[in-house]
Amino acid sequence: MKKLISIVIFSAFFLAACSSSDTSTSSGGGTTAVLSSAEKETLVYMREEEKLARDVYRTLFSRWNLQIFNNIARSEQMHMDALAAMLASYGVTDPVTSDSTGSFTNPVLASLYDQLVARGSSSAAEAIQVGIYIEQTDITDLQKAISESTHTDLDRAYENLLQGSYNHLQAFTAKSSW
């Protein structure tokens, strides 16, 4: 009987471990999922990409005083906050070391920020096109992130950001026809 109980208990623990899709390690008092190096890189990149969008929109709002940039910049801040929470939950170092506008750890994003601001500063219509470009890029990158992620909480965060990017794209596209 003891052997049967041991087998049942072992089987229950084994099935519970197999049903989890996340690889876990113990950290202090809880269990923390472990991201692959590719998932970490993507999460770090997406955090700064959301900052890029926010910073460009803030700058273009200052230049053109179009409310769409202010509204979407606030939404991008919420996207940044969501990804900061994901970084913290997975114990990944946040690349946003300075919240200063245009300050990036990733040199490619720093250069892109300068290019997009310059382009968007040429006219209000071009600024709207910059918004469309940013949202299309975010959509592509988020779809890729979702396809590569093996973590449901991360997928959920990316899917929420993806829906936001679709909404932003729709708003910029509607504004581009004026």
Which among 15, 21, 26 has a CA at the least distance from the CA of 150? Answer: 21
**Separation CA 75–CA 95 (nearest Å):** 20
For residue 92, the 8-state DSSP code is P
What are 30's strand-pairing partners?
A: 27
Single pTM value for the model? 0.82
pLDDT (tens place) for every residue of the chain, 178 residues total? 444 334 333 333 333 333 334 443 323 333 357 999 999 999 999 999 999 999 999 999 999 999 999 999 999 999 999 999 999 999 999 999 999 999 999 999 999 999 999 999 999 999 999 999 999 999 999 999 999 999 999 999 999 999 999 999 999 999 998 6
Q: Token pair for residue 94?
A: 């946040």
Neighbour-count burial for 127-140, b at 16+ CB within 10 Å, e otherwise:
bbbbbbbbbebbbe
* Measured distance CA(6)–CA(46) in Å, rounded: 46
